[in-house]
Amino acid sequence: MGLGYLIVGLPLVLGIVVVKIIDFLERTRFPVRGISPSYFASVALLFGLFASLAATDAWQRTNKTTMALATEVSELRGILRIAETQPAEQSEIRKAIRTYIAGVNEHELTAQGAGATLAPPPLGLHQLYLIGAKSGAFQDNSSVNSSYLSALEAVRAARVQRLELRRSHIPVRHFVILLLMGLLTQIAIGFSHGGNRVATTYSVMLFSVAFSAAIYFIEAFDDPYSSGYAASMAELQEVS
């Protein structure tokens, strides 16, 4: 998270540096003059393009992760509904689901477990498979057993997808490119207001604040421990 704070704060520092450099140039033999105010638009468009691509990438990954967890929750509830019709297995299935959720909360839905994609599945998942594999399970009703195992496979697949998605992040080089394009936009804005110190300062710093906010929101959506994911985690805890 330290790197995240550094990336978020850097646009403000760059904005101050740009303003200082342009102010310094005004007192030398190389003042900035004669640049059209609309000049910065071409550079700003490129910055906006890169920012939108990064934001879309992070947003889509967050949505897919939330959907995977929602599928996991839905299928676990489906297994509980099946258990309600099977008195012999009901208590055993409920206990296994509670064990599964406890394992997920302890090892996977934490900052320490973010990279646990290749870790063995929770003990509860193994217990649920054993219930379905027992001879005479579900009163020897093959239809119920098939529905149970299908729901269980969906839980397993959703869990793997959720973990894989949470491991992926926007590469640091993409943030570097975004910072470079933002810096060029800051310079272009400063040049467009050459000769007017107040306008230069206000314009560059206003964009710098927006630039920093954009980086912050992109970095926040790239964080798998966002508030939206925490809410979905709470929903998983309430299943059993």
Q: What is the mean pLDDT of each run of 10 residues along the chain (240 residues)?
A: 68 92 86 75 88 88 84 90 89 90 74 53 88 86 91 91 81 87 92 86 93 87 62 64
| Residue-level pLDDT at 193 | 84
Is the distance from CB of 170 to CB of 22 less than 8 angstroms?
A: no
- On whether the pTM is more than 0.75, the answer is no
| Residue-level pLDDT at 229 | 57
| Residue-level pLDDT at 205 | 94
| Residue-level pLDDT at 5 | 65
| Residue-level pLDDT at 232 | 60
| Residue-level pLDDT at 42 | 81
| Residue-level pLDDT at 185 | 93
| Residue-level pLDDT at 110 | 57
